Structure 1
Amino acid sequence: MTLHLYDTAARSLREFTPVREGHASVYLCGATPQSVPHIGHVRSGVAFDILRRWLLANGYDVAFVRNVTDIDDKILTKAAENGRPWWEWAATHEREFTRAYDALGVLPPSTEPRATGHVTQMIDYMERLIERGFAYPAEGSVYFDVAAWSAAPEGDYGHLSGHRLDEVDQGESADLRGKRDTRDFALWKAAKPGEPAWPTPWGDGRPGWHLECSAMATWYLGHTFDIHGGGLDLQFPHHENEAAQSHAAGDGFARFWLHNGWVTMAGEKMSKSLGNVLSVPNILTAVRPVELRYYLGSAHYRSMLEYSPEALQEAAAAYRRIERFIQRVVLEKLDGSATRLGIAELSDDNWDKSAFISAMDRDLNVPEALAAIHGAVSSGNSALDKGYDAVAIATAEAVRAMAAVLGVDPLDPQWTSTAGAEDAAMTALDLLVRAELEARADARANKDFATADAIRDRLVAAGIEVADTADGQKWSLANRKD
């Protein structure tokens, strides 16, 4: 089976065939850095990072562009409320987003363009649209003519969102000067006193939200590219307007449109206005970064993810089951040397990997892919218990390969390195031993002393000394105290 993705515009699964063989081009609507990111913001980053990793695993050369909308009404409002320059406010919170992406193991984009750095490309876009009769200047602003595009033979306004022309509400403020039709949207906004402005042939001003992404996407990925992604809330008006202005300018633009679902609380979208924001730094006081990533990526990307502390902890526990199996193999069969455990090739050579590949090729079905991983973990633990060393090691290598696609390989340096550690090997060993000790503590709490003793015996056999103290379990290497 080949990769099939759900295309929002087609409202169906379509086989992924790239514009250029062996190359995949992806544009993701990134941050509008008005505040510290919450987990609803970064779910999109994790979801499309999984897509990128799966494309890479299938041998594609991936160009991945994730923009920053660093000029926006919300940024100007927030900066003014806090008495800060708009550019400083945007830059400060852009760094917060970068920290959050990095903490969750989201691969850095191929490039991360900012809107304010691409005004030249936006001017070119507006000139093309005006020349083709689908945009007009008015009192220093420039607007896209929705009715003109809809009346054109090739006009397709509404094809992405399903909005009918008589239902269109752009949600723009009523004071935009010179707009002919309320359904039109601003490509360029005339300068207002005290606001930042850039020069154009039609007057000083600043870019409209939708124009920014069309200009940046095509500048880096070409007039036609493979995939445009973003949150479901961007489908209208943002993505509909992007598609309209790009097609009206003569560009093929995105061949696939992918949209991820929201993180919800009590059935409502997580947002500042609802007062139910959970910032990434806050959540990371409750779980490790890899556990938060596992949680955010565990549901199908198109589904809603209902947040609760209990659901977060259940996801963390599920990740630890994977982690513990890998650690058992390293400690029991590889003398505690994590570097001796490789990563298998992903191919249809056993049931678990075949099921994983099939799930990922069906629109990135991560819940089924995780079921395959956990099935392999169960088989691997059984092999360890029966003394089938070669089977257990091969299974662990397969589990690493599958988990790496989801960005949660327990032995990835992203999750095993800690600032200030003596060396990477000791850091990895510390994480491995701590997980075993946690399992031992659970067994003792459940009065399963046979399992607790077996875990301790395994650690001793691997050269790990365990001491039960008033402050909990402590470990050290035999003949070495840390």
Structure 2
Amino acid sequence: MLTIYNTLTRRKEEFKPLHPGVVNMYVCGPTVYNYIHIGNARSAIAFDTVRRYLEFKGYQVNYVSNFTDVDDKMIKAAHEQGITVPQLADKFIRAFMEDTTAVNIEPATKHPRATENIPEIIAFVQRLIKNGYAYESDGDVYYRARKFANYGQLSGQSIDDLEVGASEHVSADEIGKKEDPMDFALWKAAKPGEISWDSPWGKGRPGWHIECSVMSTKYLGQTLDIHAGGQDLEFPHHENEIAQSEAATGQPFVRYWMHNGFVTIGKDNEKMSKSLHNFITVHDIIKTVDPQVLRFFMATTQYRRPIQYSEDNLTDAQNNLEHIRTAYDNLTYREQDAEVGVDEVVSQQLADFTARFTAVMDDDINVQNGIAVVYELVKAANTYAQQPVVKQGALQAYKDKLAQLVSIFGIKLVARDNQIDDEQIKALIEERNQARKNKDFARSDQIRDELKQRGIILEDTPQGTRYKKEQ
């Protein structure tokens, strides 16, 4: 039974989509005024992994993730670069697609842009005005937050406490326009020279929150199965989405709210963000780090937990991924002398691994326990590959199962050239020597066994370690 932690109810709940066998899932996408940093990528990777697991479970997943392609940050960045807002958006949407493809994030079923949905946004705002939840003020349109009975439920805050915080951040100009400090903008009147669209309230553009209500309900229906995003979006963004959507449709907006933890950096574990100027972009990091290592590093931490970014943690991820890749290589290498046939013991063993993997992943997509099962599968595969007699069918079954399970983490396993060159051998021997100095005999033995499986025999002598290749 798959359970998901629902932020709205603050408990794990059995997952039951509105329509059996189909999951309608919306994930808040980026504001495209810069390259995405790995904090942004964490959300995209976490929920791509959730999507992959749902598909592994047999669901058809309709996955929508938007692009915010007009807002204050974009107007400022476009002005600074001497280009138009659409040109800026096109540039960084292309970059987003390139970077997310590199880390093997599946394209969304639909990637809508806010500017492609202006007529629908205007109609949605008009409906809120008609229903008494919104009002026009000097070309702006605001939502009456206090009128929505459940406002604050998602973030677990009372509207009176929220009002105190809101009052500290409302400008004198806004105070003059708003009925209440808690009210938020649905439509913003254009300033001179800004990008704008015609509306019943004059030239302007959408507020940030309204676009997601419009695009999610347009493409997925009035009630979504899953709405996901970073923890920092719980308030005000997702809180406002609920208020807007339910006031407009009269239907429950989302069945399961999912929020991922932050990426932290530095000794103080600061949240990585553009506003703190402590971010590292995916565009830059994949120039020096294997994108699959970055993917593996981020996909193997349960989505609700924080991830600490560091060179040491990346190195650990690289080593763990290499153990999986090497096991796959070892299985491929043994195919050259394998006997025709299958092994029923192996078939049962793989069925057991699948059942164990599913059981732990069904607990709120617990990828850390899931990857632990994969490591046990790797160990079993290496043990089998060392047997004197192996079956072709069993080797292929191990390879297929490894490839299937790690694909849920976004990792592609492909057969690598089994010919290992002298420099690679020397590097592994050096790593083994260092492991022995550190009394890490498990790693030392593992390197020796891995080389043996690839036809490299080590001989320890008083003069150092020598090697020879089997003929």
1:279-318 equivalences in 2 (<5 Å) = 279-318=281-320
1:97 and 1:388 map into 2 onto residues whose CA distance is 48
Question: CA offset at residue 396 of structure 1?
Answer: 3.0
2:422 and 2:255 map into 1 onto residues whose CA distance is 48
What CA deviation, in whole Å up to 9, does each residue of 1:230-278 have, x standing for no partner?
A: 1111110000000111111123221111001111113111012322211
1:364-379 equivalences in 2 (<5 Å) = 364-379=365-380
Matched, 1:256 2:251: no
Task: Tell me if the contact between 2:3 and 2:363 (Cα under 8 Å) persists in the aligned partners.
Answer: yes
Query: For the structure 1 residues 451 and 52, does the alpha-carbon distance in structure 2 shift closer, same or farther, using more than 3 Å as the test?
Result: closer
Amino acid across the alignment from 1:291: V
Percent identity over the alignment is 37
Task: Please say which of residues 13-22 and 162-171 is displaced more in the overlay.
Answer: 162-171
Query: For the structure 1 residues 273 and 439, does the alpha-carbon distance in structure 2 shift closer, same or farther, using more than 3 Å as the test?
Result: farther
Structure 1 match to 2:25:
26
Structure 2 match to 1:399:
402
Amino acid across the alignment from 1:399: L
Task: Please say which of residues 435-444 and 266-275 is displaced more in the overlay.
Answer: 435-444
1:12-411 equivalences in 2 (<5 Å) = 12-149=11-148, 155-168=149-162, 169=165, 174-176=172-174, 178-249=177-248, 250-265=250-265, 266-334=268-336, 350-387=351-388, 389-390=390-391, 391-411=394-414
Matched, 1:443 2:429: yes
- Normalising by structure 2, what TM-score? 0.85
Task: Please say which of residues 191-200 and 105-114 is displaced more in the overlay.
Answer: 191-200
Question: CA offset at residue 285 of structure 1?
Answer: 3.1
Task: Tell me if the contact between 1:443 and 1:451 (Cα under 8 Å) persists in the aligned partners.
Answer: no
Task: Tell me if the contact between 1:440 and 1:451 (Cα under 8 Å) persists in the aligned partners.
Answer: no
Task: Tell me if the contact between 1:24 and 1:63 (Cα under 8 Å) persists in the aligned partners.
Answer: yes
Query: For the structure 1 residues 459 and 80, does the alpha-carbon distance in structure 2 shift closer, same or farther, using more than 3 Å as the test?
Result: same
2:416 to 429, 447, 453: 429
Structure 1: gaps of 5 or more residues = 150-154, 412-427, 462-472
What CA deviation, in whole Å up to 9, does each residue of 1:198-220 have, x standing for no partner?
A: 11112211000000000000000
Query: For the structure 1 residues 27 and 445, does the alpha-carbon distance in structure 2 shift closer, same or farther, using more than 3 Å as the test?
Result: closer
Structure 2: gaps of 5 or more residues = 437-443, 457-466
Query: For the structure 1 residues 331 and 179, does the alpha-carbon distance in structure 2 shift closer, same or farther, using more than 3 Å as the test?
Result: same
Aligned pair count? 434
What CA deviation, in whole Å up to 9, does each residue of 1:374-395 have, x standing for no partner?
A: 0110111112223362455433
What CA deviation, in whole Å up to 9, does each residue of 1:107-163 have, x standing for no partner?
A: 0111100001111111121122111111111111110001222xxxxx210110112
Amino acid across the alignment from 1:383: Y
Task: Please say which of residues 376-385 and 22-31 is displaced more in the overlay.
Answer: 376-385
What secondary structure sits across from 1:193 in the alignment?
coil
Task: Please say which of residues 261-270 and 347-356 is displaced more in the overlay.
Answer: 347-356
Task: Tell me if the contact between 1:30 and 1:69 (Cα under 8 Å) persists in the aligned partners.
Answer: yes
Structure 2 match to 1:152:
none
1:222 and 1:317 map into 2 onto residues whose CA distance is 44
Question: CA offset at residue 445 of structure 1?
Answer: 4.7
Structure 2 match to 1:470:
none
Structure 1 match to 2:441:
none
Question: CA offset at residue 326 of structure 1?
Answer: 0.3
1:60 and 1:452 map into 2 onto residues whose CA distance is 40
Question: CA offset at residue 33 of structure 1?
Answer: 0.9
Question: CA offset at residue 287 of structure 1?
Answer: 2.1
2:64 and 2:261 map into 1 onto residues whose CA distance is 20
1:124 and 1:232 map into 2 onto residues whose CA distance is 30
What secondary structure sits across from 2:370 in the alignment?
helix
Amino acid across the alignment from 2:73: K
2:395 and 2:428 map into 1 onto residues whose CA distance is 24
What secondary structure sits across from 2:416 in the alignment?
helix
- Normalising by structure 1, what TM-score? 0.84
**RMSD, aligned α-carbons:** 2.9
Question: CA offset at residue 172 of structure 1?
Answer: 6.0
2:184 and 2:50 map into 1 onto residues whose CA distance is 32
Question: CA offset at residue 433 of structure 1?
Answer: 4.4
